[in-house]
């Protein structure tokens, strides 16, 4: 991170931040394995014993619903000799490791190990799967591999309450439409692009005139969260129909970006959608866009909005971020100052400076 004095501008980061595989490996440890990562949605765990496996930066994990209804997350590693206990997704009354049939309860405790009763000193009550921290925001489950990590409410203060103000049915929302794309760029290129709207008017004509009002666009940092706020586009330019009387905040746009790799967005009309970034390697990022409705139905209007977004904003951003990556890899990139307006506003990149600070904080910790 470049040093700067109080009156010198913040410069963009050197290309190596985005092109160096060794730096990316350090980020996996210091950023992704110590922050809250999206695991999945509770609709994947409707009944006791439902489970699904997933991966957080090379760490094999699974989530399961316990008999008492609570969600649990574990490293997917048998305490015996390490075989993965479950694969894919499904439902289990107990968790039986396929290697030597050690059997665990849904709370991770060891229930039986064949032949272990003949082992002097073998105490099954001392053996269990290794739990992982898990928290929920509405139906969205997040895990953190750092047992000492601060809870989500202190990293992302007020998030649950704010979402509830826009989404009275938050707990009943289910995924209705999903689009996953691969971006050939470093994850920070994509996340930084998401978190400024300086490029919106030039590059996102549909979003900047048919979804939101760019003039009132504001981004504010709170905790390790960036809140984007503006109002909906107005009049003929609006690209989809909204029932303005359906909710007091129907004509607003909000987004809450959760450092480092997830975002809740509420489009005008109180339409929840999310971004989930998965950094695959130093120059490959998987981005999943998901749209939600009560019960998970996908009526035509929601499908049209999701497809419009995929065909415009998402596609336009892919072209931008992949071009940025090629520029960063050109060998001739010399970072210039960010455009930071002390008053904030659409054309200010203060949010990029916040992302740099959080990256620096994580890498120095
Ligand atoms: S590794 Fe799981 S039972 Fe042996
Ligand atoms: Fe964009």
CB-ligand 1 contact for 199 (6 Å cutoff): no
User: What is the residue with the minimal CA distance to atom 4 of ligand 1?
Assistant: 100
Question: For residue 221, what are the contacts with CB-CB under 8 A and spacing of at least 6?
Answer: 227, 350, 351, 354
Query: Angle 20-30-13 (CA atoms, 0-180°, nearest 5)?
Result: 45
Question: What is the full per-residue pLDDT of the chain (365 aa) written as tens digits?
Answer: 555 556 789 999 999 999 999 999 999 999 999 999 999 999 999 999 999 999 999 999 999 999 999 999 999 999 999 999 999 999 999 999 999 999 999 999 999 999 999 999 999 999 999 999 999 999 999 999 999 999 999 999 999 999 999 999 999 999 999 999 999 999 999 999 999 999 999 999 999 999 999 999 999 999 999 999 999 998 788 999 999 999 999 999 999 999 999 999 999 999 999 999 999 999 999 999 999 999 999 999 999 999 999 999 999 999 999 999 999 999 999 999 999 998 888 999 999 999 999 999 999 98
What's residue 6's pLDDT? 60
Token output for 350 = 């203060």
Distance CA 143, CA 35 (A): 8
78 Cα nearest atom in ligand 1? 2
What's residue 5's pLDDT? 58
- C-alpha 308 – ligand 2 centre gap (Å): 14
Q: With the C-alpha atoms ordered 101, 102, 105, 108, is the resulting torsion angle positive or negative?
A: negative
Distance CA 5, CA 142 (A): 38
C-beta contacts of 75-80 below 8 A and 24+ residues apart: 75/129, 75/130, 75/132, 77/129, 77/130, 78/102, 78/129, 79/110, 79/127, 79/128, 79/129, 79/130, 80/113
CATH for 37-144? 2.102.10.10
Residue 199 burial class via C-beta count within 10 angstroms: exposed 0-12, middle 13-18, buried 19 and up: middle
What's residue 234's pLDDT? 84
- C-alpha 345 – ligand 2 centre gap (Å): 16
CB-ligand 1 contact for 100 (6 Å cutoff): yes
User: What is the residue with the minimal CA distance to atom 3 of ligand 1?
Assistant: 100
82 Cα nearest atom in ligand 1? 1
- The reply to whether omega before 260 is within 30° of 0 (cis) is yes
What's residue 347's pLDDT? 92
Q: List the domain boundaries for the chain.
A: 37-144, 153-364
Ligand 1 pocket test: pick from 77, 78, 96, 110 the residue with the most ligand atoms within 8 Å of its Cβ: 78
CATH for 153-364? 3.90.380.10
What's residue 236's pLDDT? 83
Q: Do domains 37-144 and 153-364 have the same CATH topology?
A: no
Locate tokens 């994947």: which residue?
44
What's residue 4's pLDDT? 57
CB-ligand 1 contact for 78 (6 Å cutoff): yes
pTM of the model: 0.96
């Amino acid at each position: 991170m470049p040093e700067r004095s109080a009156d010198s501008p913040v410069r963009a980061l050197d290309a190596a931040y985005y092109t160096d595989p060794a730096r990316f490996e350090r980020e996996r440890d210091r950023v992704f394995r110590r922050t809250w990562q999206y695991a999945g949605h509770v609709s994947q765990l409707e009944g006791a014993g439902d489970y699904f496996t997933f991966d957080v930066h090379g760490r094999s994990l699974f989530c399961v619903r316990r008999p008492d209804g609570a969600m649990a997350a574990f490293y997917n590693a048998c305490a015996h000799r390490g075989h993965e206990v479950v694969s894919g997704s499904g439902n289990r009354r107990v968790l039986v490791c396929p290697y030597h049939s050690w059997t665990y309860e849904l709370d991770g405790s060891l229930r039986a190990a064949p032949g272990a009763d003949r082992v002097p000193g073998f105490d099954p009550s001392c053996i269990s799967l290794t739990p992982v921290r898990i928290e929920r925001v509405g139906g969205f489950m997040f895990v953190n591999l750092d047992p000492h990590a601060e809870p989500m409410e202190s990293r992302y203060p007020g998030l649950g309450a704010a979402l509830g103000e826009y989404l009275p049915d938050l707990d009943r929302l289910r995924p209705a439409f999903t689009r996953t794309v691969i971006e050939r760029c470093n994850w920070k290129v994509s996340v930084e692009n998401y978190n400024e709207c300086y490029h919106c008017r030039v590059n996102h004509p549909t979003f900047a005139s048919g979804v939101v009002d760019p003039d009132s666009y504001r981004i504010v940092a709170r905790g390790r969260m960036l809140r984007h706020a503006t109002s909906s586009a107005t009049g003929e330019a609006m690209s989809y129909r909204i029932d303005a009387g359906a909710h007091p905040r129907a004509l607003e746009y909000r987004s809450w970006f959760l450092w480092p790799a997830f975002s809740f967005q509420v489009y005008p009309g109180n339409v929840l959608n999310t971004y989930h970034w998965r950094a695959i390697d130093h120059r490959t990022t998987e981005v999943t866009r998901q749209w939600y409705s009560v019960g998970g139905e996908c009526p035509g209007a929601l499908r049209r909005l999701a497809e419009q977004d995929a065909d415009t904003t998402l596609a336009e951003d892919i072209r931008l971020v992949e071009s940025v990556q090629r520029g960063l890899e050109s060998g001739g990139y010399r970072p210039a100052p960010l455009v930071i307006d002390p008053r904030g506003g659409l054309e200010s990149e203060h949010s990029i400076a916040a992302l740099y600070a959080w990256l620096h904080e994580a890498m120095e910790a």
